[in-house]
Amino acid sequence: MHRDTETALVLDAETRAEEGPADHKDELRLWLRLLTCTTLIESDIRTRLRERFDFTLPKFDLMAQLEKTSEGLTLGELSRRMMVSNGNITGLVERLVELDLIERVPHPTDRRAAFVRLTPSGRASFARMAAEHSEWVSAIAAGMSAQEVATMLRLLAKMKNSVRARIEGRQGTTP
């Protein structure tokens, strides 16, 4: 499905929920609102990364994970952190290695594994993109006060904990 179509469907679902609130629990309307916000923000960031740097959001996200560590991460660690399959990570790593933005470093104790880390040019490139990314995100939230941002952070942390507890409660149960 095309990204614009996905956005239209999400917006339409939220609009339907707003038009018929008696038909929808507030929790469903909250989920739709979060999904709409996420989709709109992600679409804006994807477009800006592509237009400004000819770069994709998944590549940026992978580099953001690597930027946090100088020694690098294994493909499995990247996969867990980014919540995507090892196959997705492998493809992203290959493209970033070709661009000389990251490099593979042999694992010191496991010949089958390797660390991937940013190259010096990758670190510099990511720093430029991250600075603009930060400005874009600040601009997205510009319509909110500092207190509103702090309140949302607190409430979303509470929701995140609720979701994690639900997921952890499901693990170990049989269908």
The reported pLDDT for the residue numbered 146 is 95
Interval 28-41 mean pLDDT: 93
Query: How many other C-beta atoms are found inside a 10 Å radius of the C-beta of residue 14?
Result: 20
Categorize the per-residue pLDDT at 3 as very low, low, confident or very high, splitting at 50, 70 and 90.
low
Is there a domain that residue 10 lies in? yes
Is there a domain that residue 62 lies in? no
Is there a domain that residue 48 lies in? yes
* Total tally of structural domains belonging to the chain: 1
Is there a domain that residue 42 lies in? yes
In degrees rounded to 5, what are phi and psi of residue 55?
A: -135, 150
Is there a domain that residue 87 lies in? no
What's the CA gap between 106 and 74, in Å, rounded? 10
Is there a domain that residue 33 lies in? yes
Helices 75-82, 57-67: crossing angle, 10 deg rounding: 120
The reported pLDDT for the residue numbered 1 is 45
Is there a domain that residue 90 lies in? no
- For residue 171, the 8-state DSSP code is T
The reported pLDDT for the residue numbered 170 is 81
Of residues 11 and 153, more confidently modeled: 153
- Average of per-residue pLDDT values in the chain: 88
Interval 43-57 mean pLDDT: 97
Categorize the per-residue pLDDT at 103 as very low, low, confident or very high, splitting at 50, 70 and 90.
very high
* Residue ranges making up the domain that contains 5: 1-54
Is there a domain that residue 5 lies in? yes
